[in-house]
Structure 1
Amino acid sequence: MNIPAIFSFKLGIWQSLVFVALFVWVYCLVDIVRHEFKNDGKFTWLLIVFFLPILGSFLYLSTEKSRRMLKA
Structure 2
Amino acid sequence: MDLIGMPGGMGMMIVFFVLIPFTLWVIALVDCLKGDFSGDNKIIWVLVIIFLPVLGSILYFLVGRNQKIA
Could you say which TM-score interval applies, normalised by the shorter chain? 0.7 to 0.9
Partners of 2:37 and 2:68 within 8 A in 1: yes
State how far apart, in whole Å, the 2-side matches of 1:68 and 1:10 are. Answer: 40
Which protein has the larger Cα radius of gyration, Structure 1 or Structure 2?
1
1:28 aligns with 2:28: yes
Superposed displacement of residue 65, structure 1: 4.4
State how far apart, in whole Å, the 2-side matches of 1:42 and 1:14 are. Answer: 33
Superposed displacement of residue 37, structure 1: 1.1
Identity of aligned residues (%): 30
CA RMSD of aligned residues (A): 1.9
Structure-to-structure mapping, 1:42-61, within 5 angstroms: 42-61=42-61
What TM-score, normalized to structure 1?
0.77
Name the count of aligned residue pairs.
66
1:16 aligns with 2:15: yes
Superposed displacement of residue 64, structure 1: 4.5
State how far apart, in whole Å, the 1-side matches of 2:40 and 2:54 are. Answer: 23
Which protein has greater RCO, CA pairs closer than 8 Å, 6+ apart? 1
Superposed displacement of residue 33, structure 1: 0.7
Q: Which contiguous aligned blocks of 4+ residues in structure 1 show a shift greater than 3 angstroms?
A: none
